[in-house]
Amino acid sequence: GAVVSQHPSWVICKSGTSVKIECRSLDFQATTMFWYRQFPKQSLMLMATSNEGSKATYEQGVEKDKFLINHASLTLSTLTVTSAHPEDSSFYICSARETAGETQYFGPGTRLLVL
Amino acid sequence: LAKTTQPISMDSYEGQEVNITCSHNNIATNDYITWYQQFPSQGPRFIIQGYKTKVTNEVASLFIPADRKSSTLSLPRVSLSDTAVYYCLAYAFTGGSQGNLIFGKGTKLSVKP
């Protein structure tokens, strides 16, 4: 149980375009989902916390207008990287927390390469 | 959210038992200890979680002394496929509020044949 999926698993795009990444909890409902970013050989860095039906909370230094988060249902959160640039190239990982429990389960990640 | 300290890396051989210790001196009463495993280019995978004493599942054991200022993840009879980065986190289950996870550098375990 407690499976989280992400789509796409990898994406290559041109600079200036927008990319949407989906995060789904497959077998549980998640009122809270989290978005992380991980650069090569570094640890995960929390970007934002997404609560179903409300605005996301962004960590300091993360531009909310650049990284748009939508958590419209208890099983789906999306992260849109707007006007992507090469420095946005990274590994984006989401996690979801069960409504009834507090353990966070992570998705497989999405590799973004901006050319 | 307690700060955790782990060894940066560890080496082991197949079939050995591996113990990774994590320090969390300022752990709070409501904090739970959770360990994740991460392979390259994959999301972290939940391994085990505990509050005190000993917890065991099909993958690992977690030992937590009475003062809870440290914890030890024990992996029995490791194989090459256990080569990964292991993260220790101590955080509170805060219900509807944040409960954000702050990842440290983790411990890179290398298992050799």
A95: chain B residues, CB-CB within 8 Å = 43-44, 101
With a CB cutoff of 8 Å and minimum separation 6, the contacts of A63 are: none
A49-73 per-position pLDDT tens digit: 988 888 899 999 999 999 999 988 9
Q: Using CA coordinates, name the residue in chain B closest to A46.
A: B102
Smallest Cβ–Cβ distance between A46 and the set B41, B87, B100 belongs to B100
Q: Supply the pLDDT for residue B100.
A: 66
B36: chain A residues, CB-CB within 8 Å = 106
Cis (ω within 30 of 0) for the bond into A8?
Answer: yes
CA B55 to chain centre: 12
Distance from C-alpha of B61 to C-alpha of B38, rounded to nearest angstrom: 17
Query: What percentage of chain B's residues is helix, strand, coil (to nearest 5)?
Result: 5, 50, 50
What average pLDDT is seen over chain A?
Answer: 92
Q: Given an 8 Å threshold on Cβ–Cβ distance, is B46 in contact with A103?
A: yes
Q: Supply the pLDDT for residue B97.
A: 43
Is there a contact between B34 and B45 (Cβ–Cβ < 8 Å)? no
A34: chain B residues, CB-CB within 8 Å = 100-101
- Taking Cα atoms as reference points, which of A19, A11, A18, A35 lies closest to residue A106? A35
Smallest Cβ–Cβ distance between A103 and the set B34, B42, B95 belongs to B34
B95: chain A residues, CB-CB within 8 Å = 102
Range 31-90 of B in CB contact (< 8 A) with A: 32, 34, 36, 41-46, 49, 87
Q: What percentage of chain A reaches a pLDDT higher than 90?
A: 76
Q: Supply the pLDDT for residue A64.
A: 92
What tokens were used for A35? 């978005």
Q: Supply the pLDDT for residue B42.
A: 95
Q: Name the phi and psi angles at A61, rounded to 5.
A: 90, -5
**Does residue A12 register a pLDDT over 50?**
yes
User: Average pLDDT, stretch A23-46?
Assistant: 92
B44-100 per-position pLDDT tens digit: 999 999 999 999 999 999 999 999 999 999 999 999 999 999 999 988 766 544 556
Q: Are strands B107-112 and B9-13 parallel, antiparallel or unpaired?
A: parallel
Helix/strand/coil for B67: coil
User: Average pLDDT, stretch A16-32?
Assistant: 93
Residue owning tokens 């992507």: A84
With a CB cutoff of 8 Å and minimum separation 6, the contacts of B56 are: B62
In one-letter notation, the amino acid at residue B24 is H
Q: Given an 8 Å threshold on Cβ–Cβ distance, is A106 in contact with B105?
A: no
